[in-house]
Structure 1
C-alpha cells in the first residue's frame, strides 16, 4: 500500500465502516435512501448502541474522518513536523479519548511505521497544488462531519467509546 503500514489501520477502519453502511443500504435502498434514516431506525428499534450497528459505523467513520482532517491540517500548518508527529497530534486531538488501552497502544506502535512525510505528500498530490487541494478538502468536508456529530448528539450517540 502506498501509504504505508501506519495508515493501513485508518484505511481498514474507514473501509469497514463504509462497507457496513453500504450493506445496510443495499438490503433495502428505498427504506435506507438517506444515511440518517439508518440511524433513526436503529434508535427506534433500540439497536443503535450495538457495536455492529450502522450508527456505530457512522460514528466511527466520522471520527476517522475527523482524524484525517486534523492530519491534513497539521501537514499544512506544521511543514516542519515529521509525519509521525502530525499523526500523533491528530490522534490525540480526535480519537484518543474514544479508544481504550489496546487501541491506543496499537496506534502508538503503528506511528513507529508512519510513512515518510515527503512520500505521503507525493502520494496524495496527484497533479495539482497539494496544499491548496488539502485546504479545499478540509474546508469543504468539515461541515459534513460537524453535521454528523450534531445529528448523532441529538440522540445521545456522539459520545460512545470503543467496546
Structure 2
C-alpha cells in the first residue's frame, strides 16, 4: 500500500512498541489519530465513528499529558485504574482504550471489505464489518440504530 492514505499509519505502527514490547502511549495515539482524516473522506456516514475515535484518543491523551513519564506505557494507565478500582467506570481511560481498539478493529474490517468487495455498497461493507466486530458489544438499541442508518457510534457503550 505504498503511497496510500494508510502509509503513515503503517509506518507509525513500527514505533508503537518499546524495545521490551510494551505499547507506548504517545506513538500509539499518534497512529490512531492518523485515521481521522481518512474518515473525513467518507463524509457524514462516518461522523459518529470519527467522533467516538477522536473522543477516546482525547481522553487517553489528557491522562498521558498529566504525567508523560508515568504514563509512557498504555499499561500503566490501565494498571493504575485497576488498582484504584476505577477501570470499569464509563469515563475511565481503560474504557476509552477498550472502545478505541474496538473501533479500530471495526475500521480495519471495513477497509478490508472495501478492498475485497468493490461491488458492495458502503452499507453492505459497514454492516458486515459491524457484525464481525462490534455487534456483540452493543445492545439491541445500538444494533438497531446501525441497521437503520448504516453506521453507528462505536464507543463508550
Q: Which residue of 2 aligns with 1:122?
A: none
Aligned to 1:49: 88
Query: Any conservation in 2 of the 1:100–1:162 contact (CA below 8 Å)?
Result: no
By relative contact order (CA 8 Å, sep 6+), the higher-ranking structure is: 1
Shift of 1:101: 2.4
Matched with 1:27 is: 66
Alpha-carbon spacing, 1:99–1:108, altered in 2? closer, same or farther (3 Å): same
The 1-side partners of 2:156 and 2:144 are apart by 14
1:1-163 correspondence runs (5 A): 1-111=40-150, 163=157
**Cα distance in 2 between the residues matched to 1:162 and 1:57:** 7
The residue aligned with 1:121 is: none
* 8 Å CA contact retained: 2:127, 2:150: yes
Give me the whole-angstrom Cα distance separating, in 1, the residues matched to 2:149 and 2:63.
Answer: 31
Residue 3 of structure 1: CA displacement? Answer: 1.8
Quote the RMSD (CA, aligned, Å): 1.8
Instruction: State the aligned residue count.
Output: 115
Give the whole-Å Cα distance in 2 for the aligned partners of 1:71 and 1:27.
34
Off by >6 Å, runs of 4+ in structure 1:
none
Consecutive unaligned residues of structure 2, counting only runs of 5 or more, are 1-39
Contact 2:87 2:95 in 1 (8 A): yes
